[in-house]
Amino acid sequence: VKNRRGEGSRLREDILRGAAELLDQTGQEQAVTLRAVARQIGIAAPSIYGHFPNRESILLATVQQAFAELTEQLQCAQTAAGTDPGARLRAVSAAYLDFARLRPQRYRAMFGGAWDTTGAVRAGAVSYAEAVALGQDALTVIVEAVRACVDAGDSASTDPVGDAVSLWVALHGLAHQRAVIPNFPWPEGIADRLVQRLAQLQWHAAAHEPVMAPGQGEPPTP
Amino acid sequence: VKNRRGEGSRLREDILRGAAELLDQTGQEQAVTLRAVARQIGIAAPSIYGHFPNRESILLATVQQAFAELTEQLQCAQTAAGTDPGARLRAVSAAYLDFARLRPQRYRAMFGGAWDTTGAVRAGAVSYAEAVALGQDALTVIVEAVRACVDAGDSASTDPVGDAVSLWVALHGLAHQRAVIPNFPWPEGIADRLVQRLAQLQWHAAAHEPVMAPGQGEPPTP
DNA sequence: TGTACATCAGTGAACGCGCGTTCACTGATGTAC
DNA sequence: TGTACATCAGTGAACGCGCGTTCACTGATGTAC
């Protein structure tokens, strides 16, 4: 069943959806072959060439779309969390981990598997600036959330950017390891521990009860 | 040039060396093909079957060897760092990051690329216990280093295992992102920041000057 | 001491497979006159 | 209004390639008698 005239670009979306499904199902970049994508969405393999010049550009577009979705979900979670900066930062962090938890294989592919920066840059499919910019948008959300905590006096950080990068790196480490070793006995409240310590969140009278991991002691009274 | 009689197992080492070289050179699991390994070490492809039953077992053995090297380097660094528990923990953390920095592609393959736990377990090439045990040895070194800090009063941690896992996860995140985005402007002293905060290292009269990132304030006087 | 033989270490040719990509095409849909 | 034609969206067959793996083999090396 063909798309109607002028609606040919709908197949492009189908191709990206098929590629994402393959990543989620198999967790392997190499499973996303031109022919496998074509099978997944029920078209002939050469039909793809109307929308993508080659296989690598499918992978790149899939990863770009995944990064855009990640950024969007971080922003939505932040907005939904209300106005308290600490709560917003925790919501962003939780959303980051949730994104990876719900699509572990795609997450794994986003960072290093499917999308080899050097390869794509070398092939000219993407500039180096674009390559770095991919993860940058999501990072920016975290940086701004930490900065808001500092501005509100909820964080003791004297280097919001550095601390936000530390937090991002730690969240990534947790998200990635969870994807790779799903059944590892992760300690209770490890995510909150990372947020609390790396963003240097402080007890604040106006804030919610800070989420503390068990055995972490009481927050200092104000 | 054949190996002498009884020395056939030397080829096994050559195969693993060739596989590791391919990983380091290309950074891609899929580049480690039977034929590519054979080319790399100058033998005919079928010769490999005397030492490995199939391609997957080469990848698995390569990753197992890499994990053993990682653990060994952590232990060496710890021993070389002397007796102060804080210095030993910092040395272990630095060694972890150095391992990844010197072999970024192999590190990336160790965690998720080349070695897909589920795949290897499903194929029966390795038990689930062995799969988890791979990273476990390196983690144990970190856990013990944190525990030593707590015992010496250099760490305020009330949950050494949980905090060690947090630290490990964060170190992994940094190591992995550095391998994937090598030119990212990583903040000054980010590694020390992770160690200091996640292991809850404290100022200690007998310890070295703690390594603080710029702008992190002074340690509290004892 | 010689010699027949088993074993070891590794090879060359071949197989069937799925891959990315190219090519000439088909048929439906819109448009100029 | 009809009709010729351009364009769009997608197809089927075919190509050359590298892959994992199998097979029968080669020749050197050690060993039993």
Task: Say if residue A69's pLDDT is above 90.
Answer: yes
Residues in chain B with CB shorter than 8 Å from the CB of A169 are: 170, 173-174, 177, 190, 194
In residues, how long is chain B?
Answer: 222
pLDDT computed for residue A77 by the predictor: 98
Tokens 């295992």 locate to: B161
Q: Which amino acid is at B167?
A: L
A109-126 burial string, b = 16+ CB within 10 Å, else e? bbbbbbbbbebbbeeebb
What digits encode the pLDDT tens for the residues A15-64?
Answer: 999 999 999 998 888 999 999 999 999 999 999 999 999 998 999 899 99
Residues B169-181 have pLDDT tens digits of 999 999 999 988 8
Mark yes or no for CB contact A215/B30 under 8 Å. Answer: no
Render pLDDT for A186-207 as a digit per residue (tens, 0 to 9). 999 999 999 999 999 986 544 4
- Distance from C-alpha of B156 to C-alpha of B164, rounded to nearest angstrom: 13
Q: How confident is the model at residue A116 (pLDDT cuts 50, 70, 90)?
A: low
Provide the pLDDT for residue B121.
59
The proportion of chain A whose per-residue pLDDT surpasses 70, expressed as a percent, equals 81
Phi, psi at B13, each rounded to 5°: -65, -40
Q: What is the overall mean pLDDT for chain A?
A: 86
Instruction: Report residue A30 as tokens.
Output: 């190499």
Which of residues B117 and A161 earns the better pLDDT score?
A161
pLDDT of residue A131: 65
Q: What is the pTM of this model?
A: 0.87
- State phi, psi for B209 to the nearest 5 degrees: -55, 120
Chain A residues inside the 8 Å CB shell of B197: 166, 197-198, 200
- Reference A27, options B211, B7, B122; nearest CA is B122
Nucleotide nearest to B6 (CA to C1'): C8
By the 8 A CB rule, do A154 and A204 touch?
yes
Residues of chain B with confidence (pLDDT) below 70: 6, 113-132, 203-222
With an 8 Å Cβ cutoff, are B170 and A194 in contact? yes
pLDDT recorded at residue A133: 75
Average pLDDT of A88-116?
89
Task: Name the percent of chain A lying above pLDDT 90.
Answer: 65
Instruction: Tell me the nearest-neighbour CA distance from B19 into chain A, angstroms.
Output: 18
The pLDDT of residue B216 is 41
The per-residue pLDDT for range A122-143, each reduced to its tens digit, is 556 566 666 667 888 999 999 9
User: Residue A135: its pLDDT value, please?
Assistant: 83
Please list every residue in chain B whose beta carbon sits closer than 8 Å to the beta carbon of residue A116.
Answer: 27-28
The predicted pLDDT at position B39 comes to: 97
Higher pLDDT, A209 or A65: A65
B74 near B142, Cβ under 8 Å? yes
Nearest CA of chain A to the CA of B30: how many Å? Answer: 8
> Would you state the pLDDT for residue A10?
85
- The DSSP annotation for chain B comes to -PPPTT-THHHHHHHHHHHHHHHHHH--GGG--HHHHHHHHT--GGGGGGT-SSHHHHHHHHHHHHHHHHHHHHHHHHHHT-S-HHHHHHHHHHHHHHHHHHSHHHHHHHTTSS--HHHHHHTTSS-HHHHHHHHHHHHHHHHHHHHHHHHTT-B--S-HHHHHHHHHHHHHHHHHHHHHSTTS-PPTTHHHHHHHHHTTB---TTSPPP---TTS-PPPP-
Give the Cα separation of A139 and A33 in Å (integer): 30
